[in-house]
Amino acid sequence: MHAPLGPAAARAAALALVAAALGGGCGGAGGGQADAHQQEQELHVYNWADYIGKNTIADFEARTGIRVVYDTYDADETLEAKMMAGDSGYDVVSTSTDYFARQIKAGIYRPLDRALLPNWKNLDPRILAIEARADPGNVHALPYLRHVNGFAYNVDMIRARMPDAPVDSLDMIFRPEVIRRFADCGVTFLDSPEDVLQLALNYLHLDPNTTRPEDYREAEKLLLTVRPYIRAFDSSEYMNGLATSDFCISMSWSGDYATSAARARAAGVSVHLAFTVPKEGANGSFDAWLIPVDAPHPLAAHKFLNYILEPRVIAGITNDIHYANDNHAADVYVDPQILRDPTIYPTPAVEARLYNAREAGPALERLRTRTWTRIKTNL
């Protein structure tokens, strides 16, 4: 494993890779491009689990002849550990704004070549402006999908246990006298310290981006009061659990409840699911594609990103997994029912109560990790 590159070394490596990929150097442009073509018939992608269309990769392979090696992860921390170690072998990775903000500063991603991304024009300028806070000038990150953190629930199972349940509120998961009513039907929380702790801080009327240890102690106290009623901490399998009625409440990302319902329908199961963007507020998150500075196949990576930017392609991803995309040219191809769902494409009223996670430094990461370990183990 290599040590992470510093910013200066990363920039130098990126420039060298661009020159090599585009045929620069002593070998001449023609020979260099031919060699690059031979070397770039493979692409290694690292993405969130369940975060791509069912035919996206196969269609890209059929169109380009590029073989895709596709790996998945279920926590931003997992991706970050691999990327910061260096020499990951990946050509394209996806992660969230607050993570790639500090990763970009560490010099582990190469600048995008806009000349190889003619479909960049399809991106929503508003989302580009938001992501520019994490990636000044939108140099490294290509906006992909976005979502809101809240909770999904089985409408019938909740009504059967508590007809007047506060389904619009975080009281559902943070008030012991409420959540205990649903312990028997299965409650899960995301296995994501950032998402869970920020939601708890916000519920306590504290800054969700606080760095104060005393605030995290308050969030820990709150979560430990409901810890006995949480069946699992999970960021991927809960979608199947909702579809099969093994879980009745799952803290989740918007879009997942619709995916769960679709899986239930495909299996011939009738289940009535809903999703809540809590009235108290929640974190909105933006994900992007980035190319590691040591990507073995940078030209293939750009081909893939330009393909993702095609309106019909990204709309197909949204239609399959029910996550909002950041491509304003794709709206006409998105299922109108998805486009009208305010939990997937938030209305201005919903957006007004959302907050965004900010970049966290090492001290805050250590604080979150220690707090999270105590909560999960209940020690």
- Which one is predicted more confidently, 147 or 17? 147
Overall pTM > 0.85 = no
Average pLDDT in the 307-333 region?
A: 96
CA distance 239 to 273: 11
> What local confidence, expressed as pLDDT, does residue 10 receive?
41
> What local confidence, expressed as pLDDT, does residue 23 receive?
38
CA distance 7 to 15: 12
The dihedral through the CA atoms of 42, 43, 44, 48 has a sign that is: negative
Residues of the chain above pLDDT 70, percent: 89
Residue 39's pLDDT band, with cuts at 50, 70 and 90, is low
> What local confidence, expressed as pLDDT, does residue 379 receive?
57
Return the structure tokens found at 145.
């999908």
CA distance 342 to 350: 7
Average pLDDT in the 83-87 region?
A: 87
Task: Please check the confidence at residue 110 and state whether its pLDDT lies above 70.
Answer: yes
- Which one is predicted more confidently, 263 or 32? 263
CA distance 354 to 165: 23
Residue 246's pLDDT band, with cuts at 50, 70 and 90, is very high
> 232 forms bridges with which residues in the sheet?
188
- Which one is predicted more confidently, 9 or 357? 357
82 in helix, strand or coil? helix
